[in-house]
Structure 1
Amino acid sequence: MSRFTGPRLKVQRALGTALPGLSRKSPEERNYPPGQHGMKQKRKSDYGLRLMEKQKLRFNYGVTERQIQRLFREAKQSKAPTGERLLELLESRLDNFVFRAGFAPTTLAARQLVSHRHVLLNGRSVNIPSIRVRPGDTITLSAAGKRIPSTVECLAEPALSRPEWLSFDGDTVSATVTRCPDASEVPFPIEVQHVVEYYAVRL
Structure 2
Amino acid sequence: MSRFTGPRLKAMRALGVELPGLSRKSIADRPHPPGQHGNRLRKKSGFGLQLQEKQKLRLNYGLSERQMRRMMSDAKRAQGSAGDKLAELLECRLDNAVFRAGFAPTIPAARQLVNHSHCLVNGRAVNIPSYRLRIGDVIALREKSRKHPVVQESFGEPALTRPEWLSCDEAARTATVAHLPALSDIPFPIEMQLVVEYYAQRL
TM-score range, shorter chain: over 0.9
Question: Residue deviations 1:159-185, cap 9 Å, x none?
Answer: 000000011111110000000001111
Asked if 2 retains the 8 angstrom alpha-carbon contact of 1:3 and 1:108, the reply is no
The residue identity in structure 1 corresponding to 2:96 is N
Residues 202 and 3 from structure 1, CA distance in 2 versus in 1: closer, same or farther, beyond 3 angstroms? closer
State how far apart, in whole Å, the 1-side matches of 2:2 and 2:104 are.
17
Matches within 5 A, 1:65-144: 65-144=65-144
Query: In the alignment, which residue of structure 1 is the partner of 2:160?
Result: 160
Cα distance, 1:3 vs structure 2: 4.8
State how far apart, in whole Å, the 1-side matches of 2:2 and 2:148 are.
23
Residues 2 and 103 from structure 1, CA distance in 2 versus in 1: closer, same or farther, beyond 3 angstroms? farther
State how far apart, in whole Å, the 2-side matches of 1:96 and 1:186 are.
11
Q: Please report the RMSD computed on the Cα atoms of aligned residues, expressed in angstroms.
A: 1.1
Question: Residue deviations 1:4-43, cap 9 Å, x none?
Answer: 3211000000011000000001101111110001100010
State how far apart, in whole Å, the 1-side matches of 2:187 and 2:29 are.
20
Cα distance, 1:2 vs structure 2: 5.9
Cα distance, 1:59 vs structure 2: 0.4
The residue identity in structure 2 corresponding to 1:116 is H
Question: Identity over the aligned pairs, expressed in percent?
Answer: 61
Paired residues, what number? 203
Cα distance, 1:145 vs structure 2: 1.4
Gaps of 5+ in 1: none
Per the alignment, in what secondary structure is the counterpart of residue 50 of structure 2?
helix
Q: TM-score, normalised by structure 2?
A: 0.97
Question: Residue deviations 1:115-165, cap 9 Å, x none?
Answer: 001101100011000000011000111122112221110011000000000
Query: In the alignment, which residue of structure 1 is the partner of 2:180?
Result: 180
Query: In the alignment, which residue of structure 1 is the partner of 2:19?
Result: 19
Asked if 2 retains the 8 angstrom alpha-carbon contact of 1:2 and 1:62, the reply is no
Per the alignment, in what secondary structure is the counterpart of residue 39 of structure 2?
coil
Q: TM-score, normalised by structure 1?
A: 0.97
The residue identity in structure 2 corresponding to 1:161 is T
Asked if 2 retains the 8 angstrom alpha-carbon contact of 1:100 and 1:160, the reply is yes
Asked if 1 retains the 8 angstrom alpha-carbon contact of 2:88 and 2:181, the reply is yes
- TM superposition outliers: structure 1 runs of 4+ over 6 Å: none
Asked if 2 retains the 8 angstrom alpha-carbon contact of 1:50 and 1:194, the reply is yes
State how far apart, in whole Å, the 2-side matches of 1:185 and 1:175 are.
16
Per the alignment, in what secondary structure is the counterpart of residue 114 of structure 2?
helix
